[in-house]
Structure formats: structure tokens, C-alpha cells
């Protein structure tokens, strides 16, 4: 049975209540993104149910956040975990755009103040690429150098900076010549460095990237277990007792899948160095 007309909202009223233009509503109907509850077969007059207001307002909000229509469709159809992942990815794109815009504004300000020429006299040459064998060795050397700095007692602030930049540089070069397992280990090392420096947010970011790479490429054994160790350590630095304990439990459970006993003992000894706070707010 068709709904009574007084139970439905005209397209004009629906437009006013949602902030979406009539043209946009028609377009979303054509894309099957927001289908009217009823369409008159003779006049093609569209009517909407009040229950559709929430979806329409969500679409309007996501458009304000500069998501494309395919991205909006993906967000609306996703479960909560996937929706969060999609929004985090979009936030990353916006932050990258913000950084680029800030750099452009800085350059414009210097140009307007006559501190920077509009045209450079000579073009900037692209860096000479390393051959793969050399770049691989650079990645290995930087990785080992970070370990040396991690084990250095009484590091200076300059050495802390050197350690951080070397970890990122190693991961960068592995990104050019390494396999997924090298990328995962590079992410793990970045996470460890940030945790040692008392910076939980980037430590957690890189720990999660390590686990994500392991899951995406089917990397098991000690690599994924150490990924969860990195997450546990980052959560401990953040003061999140519950999340740290949960991540440690995941790492211990995965230790059973480590083939070499020496690797398993190394993981368990590393987990023993993580201090789980007595209390703390969940992230």
C-alpha cells in the first residue's frame, strides 16, 4: 500500500530541512545515492520519508568535507570500522592539502614582500636516483644506525633527532627497493623510536601501519607479533592501560606462531619491558 501523502515530505520541504538543493536531490536520485520514498509515475514528482532526513544530512555534511560522491557512497554503505578507516584516510588527504596550501601561501607572502623571485634563474634539478643495490645498502645501514643510537646511553637531543630522521630515512629507502616485510619492519622501527622519545601518537600510527602491512601481505611469524608489541608500547606511553594490556595479549597470543624459539624469547622479553599504567583514559 502506498503511503499517505501527508506522511511524506515534498522535495522542496525535504530540500529546506536537509540543506541539499533540489537539483542535488535529483542528481543523487539518478545516482541511486538517495532514492525518494515515492515517485509519482505520471508527474515524476519526488517525495521523501522523514526517516531519510538523517542520511540526507549526512550526505550534506560529507559534501562540506569535500568527499566525492563515490567516497560518500562508500562511507554510507560501510560498517562502523570501515567508515572510520575511510574518514581517517580522507583526513590524511585534507592534511596533505593543508600542508601544500600553507607552503604556497608562504611562498606567495615572500614573493609579495619581494623576498623571493617569481621565477627562479635556474631550474631545480631532480635528485639523481640511487641504483637498487646502493639504495638497499643505505636502507640497511640506516636501520642498523638507528639500533646503535637506541642502545646509546645518555643520548643528546641532537642524537635523538638523528635517530628519528634516520629511522624515517631507512623506511623511505625500503619503500623504493624493499619487500612488504621490509616496509613492515621499517614501520615497527619508527614506532619504537617514537615510543622511546615519549611521543605516543606517531608511535601508535607506525605500529598500526606495521600490523596493517603484515595483515595485507600475509606476513606472520614474529613480524606481526612485534607489530602488536609496538602498539602495546605506544599505548603504554599514551597512558592507556586497557588498550596496552589488550595489545600485549594479542602479541603474546601470536608468539605461539613464531617458528624460532630465539625470536619468541626476544618478543617476550621486549613485552616484559612495557610498563602498563595502573590507570588511564581509553583513547
Contact 200, 216 (CB under 8 A): no
C-alpha 141/C-alpha 166 separation (Å) is 9
C-alpha 245/C-alpha 233 separation (Å) is 10
pLDDT in tens, 150-204: 998 889 999 999 999 999 999 999 999 999 999 999 999 999 999 999 999 999 9
Contact 94, 66 (CB under 8 A): yes
Q: Which whole number is the average pLDDT over 74-91? A: 89
Beta bridge partners of 234: none
Q: Which pLDDT belongs to residue 4?
A: 46
Q: Which pLDDT belongs to residue 282?
A: 44
Q: Which pLDDT belongs to residue 117?
A: 67
Q: Is the pLDDT of residue 120 over 80?
A: no
C-alpha 31/C-alpha 3 separation (Å) is 24
Give the long-range contacts of residues 208-214, CB within 8 A, separation 24 or more.
210/184, 210/185, 213/180, 213/183, 213/184, 213/187, 214/184
Beta bridge partners of 9: 48
Q: Which pLDDT belongs to residue 5?
A: 47
Output the CA–CA distances (angstroms, integers) from residue 172 to 35, 99, 144, 270, in the order listed. 46, 19, 15, 25
Write out the DSSP string of 39-82: E-TTT--EEEEGGGHHHHHHHHHHHHTT--HHHHHHHHTS-HHH
For the chain, give the percent of residues with pLDDT over 90.
61
**Residue 76 confidence class, pLDDT cut points 50, 70, 90:** confident
Determine the 3-state secondary structure of 39 from DSSP.
strand
Q: Please provide the average confidence, as pLDDT, over all residues in the chain.
A: 88
CATH number of 145-271: 1.25.40.10
pTM: 0.58
Contact 16, 6 (CB under 8 A): no
C-alpha 118/C-alpha 224 separation (Å) is 50
**Do β-strands 38-39 and 8-10 pair in parallel, antiparallel, or remain unpaired?**
unpaired
Output the CA–CA distances (angstroms, integers) from residue 62 to 28, 34, 95, 148, in the order listed. 14, 14, 16, 47
pLDDT in tens, 217-243: 999 898 999 999 999 999 999 999 999
Half-sphere exposure of 160 (CA within 13 A, CB side): 10
Residue 3 φ/ψ, nearest 5 degrees? -70, 150
Q: Is the pLDDT of residue 108 over 80?
A: yes
Q: Is the pLDDT of residue 123 over 80?
A: no
Q: Is the pLDDT of residue 3 over 50?
A: no
**Residue 1 confidence class, pLDDT cut points 50, 70, 90:** very low
**Residue 278 confidence class, pLDDT cut points 50, 70, 90:** low
**Fold classification of 5-76 (topology level):** Multidrug-efflux Transporter Regulator; Chain: A; Domain 2 (1.10.1660)
Amino acid at each position: 500500500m502506498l503511503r499517505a501523502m501527508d506522511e511524506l515530505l515534498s522535495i522542496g520541504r525535504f530540500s529546506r530541512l536537509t540543506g541539499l538543493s533540489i537539483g542535488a536531490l535529483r542528481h543523487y536520485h539518478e545516482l541511486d545515492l538517495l532514492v525518494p520514498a515515492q515517485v509519482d509515475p505520471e508527474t515524476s514528482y519526488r517525495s521523501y520519508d522523514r526517516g531519510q532526513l538523517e542520511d540526507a544530512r549526512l550526505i550534506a555534511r560529507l559534501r562540506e568535507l569535500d568527499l566525492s560522491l563515490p567516497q560518500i557512497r562508500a562511507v554510507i554503505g560501510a560498517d562502523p570500522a570501515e567508515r572510520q578507516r575511510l574518514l581517517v584516510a580522507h583526513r590524511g588527504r585534507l592534511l596533505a592539502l593543508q600542508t601544500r596550501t600553507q607552503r604556497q601561501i608562504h611562498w606567495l607572502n615572500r614573493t609579495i614582500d619581494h623576498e623571493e623571485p617569481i621565477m627562479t634563474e635556474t631550474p631545480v634539478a631532480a635528485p639523481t636516483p640511487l641504483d637498487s643495490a646502493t639504495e638497499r645498502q643505505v636502507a640497511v645501514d640506516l636501520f642498523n644506525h638507528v639500533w646503535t643510537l637506541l642502545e646509546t646511553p645518555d643520548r643528546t637531543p641532537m642524537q635523538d633527532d638523528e635517530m628519528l630522521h634516520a629511522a624515517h630515512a631507512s623506511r623511505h629507502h625500503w619503500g623504493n627497493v624493499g619487500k612488504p616485510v621490509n616496509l613492515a619492519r621499517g614501520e615497527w622501527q619508527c614506532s619504537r623510536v617514537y615510543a622511546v622519545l615519549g611521543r605516543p601518537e606517531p608511535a601508535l600510527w607506525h605500529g598500526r601501519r606495521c600490523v596493517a602491512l603484515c595483515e595485507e601481505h600475509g606476513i606472520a611469524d614474529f613480524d606481526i607479533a612485534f607489530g602488536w608489541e609496538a602498539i602495546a608500547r605506544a599505548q603504554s606511553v599514551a597512558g592507556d592501560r586497557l588498550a596496552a594490556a589488550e595489545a600485549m595479549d594479542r602479541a603474546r597470543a601470536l608468539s605461539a606462531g613464531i617458528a624460532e624459539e630465539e625470536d619468541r624469547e626476544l618478543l617476550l622479553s621486549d613485552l616484559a619491558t612495557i610498563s602498563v599504567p595502573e590507570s588511564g583514559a581509553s583513547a
